Amino acid sequence: MKNPATLFMATRPQFLPATAVAVGLGASVAWHEARSFDMAVFALSMTAALFCHAGMNTLNDYYDSKNGADGLNRNALTPFTGGSRFIQNGLMTPGETLALGAALVLAGSLIGIYLALTISPVLFAIGLLGVASGYFYSAPPLFLAGRGFGELTVGVTFGLLMVLGAYAAQTGSIGAGPVVASLPLTFLIAAILFVNEFPDFESDRAAGKRTIVVRLEPRRARWGLVLILAMAYASVAAGVFLGPLPSGSLYAILTAIIAIPGALCLLRNYDRAGALIPAIKAMIAIHFFTGLIQIASNLA
């Protein structure tokens, strides 16, 4: 039996704050629009989302060990890219990794089912879509990450669906407000994944993963980050000027102070894996701070 610390680190906990921010945003939109908030429901929603995210991370490690992507990776920037490396370093077997991932997703799903039964059946649809897209991100036969749909899948799963699910758990319904509010985080979580694909380019190509970076090759693909970031900030501005987002959300644009150096880092060092850590950290930071600013603007 592995000790709890090993099991916890195998879930790549450094990425779990992304889910916490998304769930917090969904609940804050419910408060802003309907003055609806239940602490017990929020705690259950957060627990379910974190369990599912941790399970998806672990299952991704299992399937990337099966398809060879992590084993071939010589440019892994642990703990950011290349998986947890627990299988490759002999800390856990593939079977143990699969069992841990399945148990976490099952635990999160059971909490989600309870919320759906007691609050609204719309949570069934959101949860089913989220679990399916998260699982098939790396699992066959769909293997969405290897077919150029990784950014879209991660954006929808850990942006749109997380925010919408947390909102529905508080209100029992869905609407345009949480969808619009989710767009900045949807783009920014996709930006994190996109930058992570550059250090993994060689191993992904060797393993047959047809990510966007593999399809376009790094020199051309690097400009995709500029596009993703532009869409994230445009979604904030459009949401405020068209009405769904409170005016305080515009402060999220200040995170461009971090985003611009991060984007320049990728543009200059797209073919130098070891030099990309500042770009990866910048994307994680702007996602986190954008979410916090949005939450604060909804609670003001």
Neighbours of 142 (CB within 10 A): 16
Helix-, strand-, coil-residue percentages of the chain, each rounded to 5? 80, 0, 20
**Of the candidates 14, 16, 7, 13, which has an alpha carbon nearest to the alpha carbon of residue 93?**
7
The dihedral through the CA atoms of 94, 95, 97, 98 has a sign that is: positive
Tell me the domain boundaries of the chain: 11-299
| pLDDT tens for the chain, residues 1 to 300 | 578 888 888 888 888 999 999 999 999 999 999 999 999 999 999 999 999 999 999 998 898 888 766 666 566 566 666 667 778 777 888 888 999 999 999 999 999 999 999 999 999 999 999 999 989 988 888 888 888 888 899 999 999 999 999 999 999 999 999 999 999 999 999 999 999 989 888 888 887 788 899 999 999 999 999 999 999 999 999 999 998 899 999 999 999 999 999 999 999 999 988 899 999 999 999 999 999 999 999 998
- pLDDT of 84-111, one tens digit each? 777 877 788 888 899 999 999 999 999 9
The 10 Å CB-count burial string (b at 16+, else e) for 208-221 is ebbbbbbeeebeeb
Confidence (pTM): 0.91
C-alpha separations of 150 from 5, 60, 169, 268, 294 in Å: 29, 12, 27, 24, 25
Q: Identity (one letter) of the amino acid at 11?
A: T
Give the relative orientation of helices 16-34 and 277-299 as an angle to the nearest 10 degrees: 20
Token duo for residue 112: 């989600």
